[in-house]
A and B are shown apart, each in its own frame.
Chain A
Amino acid sequence: GDSVTQMEGPVTLSEEAFLTINCTYTATGYPSLFWYVQYPGEGLQLLLKATKADDKGSNKGFEATYRKETTSFHLEKGSVQVSDSAVYFCATGGGNKLTFGTGTQLKVEL
């Protein structure tokens, strides 16, 4: 079945630092790829997605590029803020359900 591997956290950064959270996947066919974010005390919400190879998803300064050759969908942001502190989940969508990674907690400090 499908699987997602993402880097373990917590990741602690200073404000304005560059962020990378690695994500690789295994899936059959041509799945869509997603990043979801869970802010403290809130439900998961979609951050960005990409539906085919070489697509770049972007939102709120975050970006991720669908790399089929490396089966990766790494999340990046050039300058993080304290308000970005949350848990980030990478997911692959094949068929009718999403398969999630274990989540990466990000803490951004002043």
Chain B
Amino acid sequence: GAGVSQSPSNKVTEKGKDVELRCDPISGHTALYWYRQSLGQGLEFLIYFQGNSAPDKSGLPSDRFSAERTGGSVSTLTIQRTQQEDSAVYLCASSSERGKIGELFFGEGSRLTVL
């Protein structure tokens, strides 16, 4: 498809397990973002990739969270030793613009439930 694709759309896991969430951005988009959407909390910035530059990891809430982007395209967000407070919808977005931020194109999200 032409949009941002995320998988899985839903993930239920047990506390303490590791999870991986995948994002396939729009082809040709150099910028990729991960946000977290919790009930009543709005969207929380997690991490930003731009081309081959070092990622901006300033939003990652703890060292249990990490993300990589291979070949400047697909990205994986990994949460180790999941906790119940990690339950949220994880949103990926991509953009074609460099420098000053422009329009972000969002995927439909991966809903994570930690039991």
Contact = CB atoms under 8 A, between A and B. Distances in A.
Contact of B106 (A44, A94, A96): A44
Given A32-B100, A97-B48, A97-B56, A43 B91 contact: yes
Interface residues of B, number: 27
A98 B100 contact: no
A44 B42 contact: no
Q: Per DSSP, are chain A's interface residues mostly helix, strand or loop, or mixed? A: strand
Interface in B86-115: 91, 93, 99-109
A93 B42 contact: no
Interface string B4-33: 100000000000000000000000000101
Given A42-B108, A43-B4, A43-B106, A98 B45 contact: yes
Contacts of A100: 35, 42-43
Contacts of B75: none
B101 A95 contact: yes
A96 B48 CA distance: 8
Nearest to A2: B45
Interface residues of A, number: 22
Given A99-B45, A100-B43, A101-B42, A93 B100 contact: yes
A77 to B, nearest CB: 20
Nearest to A8: B40
A81 interface: no
Interface of A: 4, 32, 36, 41-46, 49, 89, 93-103
29 contacts: A32-B101, A41-B108, A42-B108, A43-B109, A44-B43, A44-B93, A45-B106, A46-B103, A46-B104, A49-B103, A89-B42, A93-B102, A94-B101, A96-B31, A96-B50, A96-B99, A96-B101, A97-B45, A97-B56, A97-B59, A97-B101, A98-B33, A98-B45, A98-B101, A100-B35, A100-B43, A102-B40, A102-B42, A103-B42
